[in-house]
Amino acid sequence: MGSVQIGASIAKLLFPVLGPIGTACMRVLLAAIVLLLIARPWNRQAMARPTRSGMIAILAYGLSLAVMNMVFYAALARLPLGVTVAIEFIGPLTLAVAGSRRALDLLWAAMAIGGLLLLLEPWQMAASQHRLDPIGVLLALGAGVTWALYILTGRHLGSHVEGISATALGMSVAAVFVLPFGFEALPALATHPALIASAFGMAMLSSAVPYSIEMMAMRRMSMRSFSILMSLEPAIATLAGLFLLGEHLTFMHWLAIGGIVAASLGSAAVGDAPQPALPPPD
């Protein structure tokens, strides 16, 4: 999770040259190339040929990845990093509540929601210095929906294809989808060659490494536990915004982070028993 937010901080620094959609394109494209070289899914000894349902799962996962990246970066261009991730977190939090069977689980979700409210301070919306860009908020909410879809499709894909191969194939589908939207940003790399290293680092930190790890985690955890544990994301994003982007925190923001972290630790400490890994791929 920390690598994702460091990568997001790097991405925000690239916006003035590549734009948010162009940056998303570079993130997905470079990550896809690296993952394909590592996984080599074309090698039948490394991965069995996916079934028809497996191919549908790959397409769904790749599409959710593509839309999630583009919408998230579009929101990030209008909102601080911590605020963007906090709003986006509504998606996986909804999954956590929807999958709950115990009152205690709802308590952790309520604590996380309380932390988010302190982080966003909706009662300050009328004040100009705290007012959030409404389009940015809508984009962040859209990113939350696609984040939830990413969790759903990723877990489904994990039952068909092994971890890193699944991520490589899904990222390749995402790259094909985003390339037409961010193609016009590619010439900017030719005029600013120093950005190539930054773009590569962003792709590795934001996509290649964390998505591969998350794919393996989703094969071994319940969807509800995975969703609630991801509640650490807003806190880490806020800290990354502070130290890497100079986005300063208020006292309310620190309280919000404490609430979100407490909810995450509580759910991990008393959550459901570990589940076995998913069945082997078809």
Arithmetic mean of pLDDT, 157-161: 77
> Residue 11: pLDDT band by 50, 70, 90 thresholds?
very high
What's the pLDDT at 273?
A: 46
What's the pLDDT at 45?
A: 55
What's the pLDDT at 105?
A: 75
Q: 23: Cβ–Cβ under 8 A, 6 or more apart, which residues?
A: 11, 14, 15, 73, 182, 185, 199, 202
Compute the distance between CA of residue 153 and CA of residue 175 in angstroms, rounded to an integer.
17
Specify the higher pLDDT residue, 202 or 163: 202
pLDDT at 55 over 80: yes
Reduced 3-state DSSP string for the chain: CHHHHHHHHHHHHHHHHHHHHHHHHHHHHHHHHHHHHHHCCCCCCCCCCCCHHHHHHHHHHHHHHHHHHHHHHHHHCCCCHHHHHHHHCHHHHHHHHHCCCCHHHHHHHHHHHHHHHHHHCHHHCCCCCCCCCHHHHHHHHHHHHHHHHHHHHHHHHHCCCCHHHHHHHHHHHHHHHHHHHHHHHHHHHHHCCCHHHHHHHHHHHHHHHHHHHHHHHHCCCCHHHHHHHCCHHHHHHHHHHHHHHCCCCCHHHHHHHHHHHHHHHHHHHHCCCCCCCCCCCC
- pLDDT more than 70, % of the chain: 81
pTM of this prediction? 0.83
Residue type, 70: M
> Residue 269: pLDDT band by 50, 70, 90 thresholds?
low
pLDDT at 262 over 90: no
Nearest to 94 by CA among 143, 60, 145: 145
Q: What are phi and psi of 79, to 5 degrees?
A: -130, 160
What's the pLDDT at 16?
A: 93
Arithmetic mean of pLDDT, 96-103: 71
pLDDT at 277 over 70: no
Please, are residues 156 and 149 in contact by the beta-carbon 8 Å criterion? no
Please, are residues 68 and 220 in contact by the beta-carbon 8 Å criterion? no
pLDDT digits (tens, 9 = 90+) for 186-207: 788 778 878 888 999 999 888 8
Write the burial class of residue 120 (CB in 10 Å: 0-12 exposed, 13-18 middle, 19+ buried).
buried
Arithmetic mean of pLDDT, 108-121: 78
Q: 215: Cβ–Cβ under 8 A, 6 or more apart, which residues?
A: 154, 157, 158, 163, 164, 166, 167
> Residue 252: pLDDT band by 50, 70, 90 thresholds?
confident
Among the listed ranges 127-131, 230-234, 249-253, which one has the minimum average pLDDT value?
A: 127-131
Three-point CA angle 146, 233, 201, nearest 5°: 85
pLDDT at 282 over 50: no
What's the pLDDT at 281?
A: 34
Mean pLDDT of the chain: 80
> Residue 272: pLDDT band by 50, 70, 90 thresholds?
low
Q: Where are the domains of the chain?
A: 2-270
> Residue 47: pLDDT band by 50, 70, 90 thresholds?
low
> Residue 21: pLDDT band by 50, 70, 90 thresholds?
very high
Please, are residues 23 and 202 in contact by the beta-carbon 8 Å criterion? yes
Please, are residues 187 and 14 in contact by the beta-carbon 8 Å criterion? no
Specify the higher pLDDT residue, 191 or 64: 64
Compute the distance between CA of residue 13 and CA of residue 63 in angstroms, rounded to an integer.
25
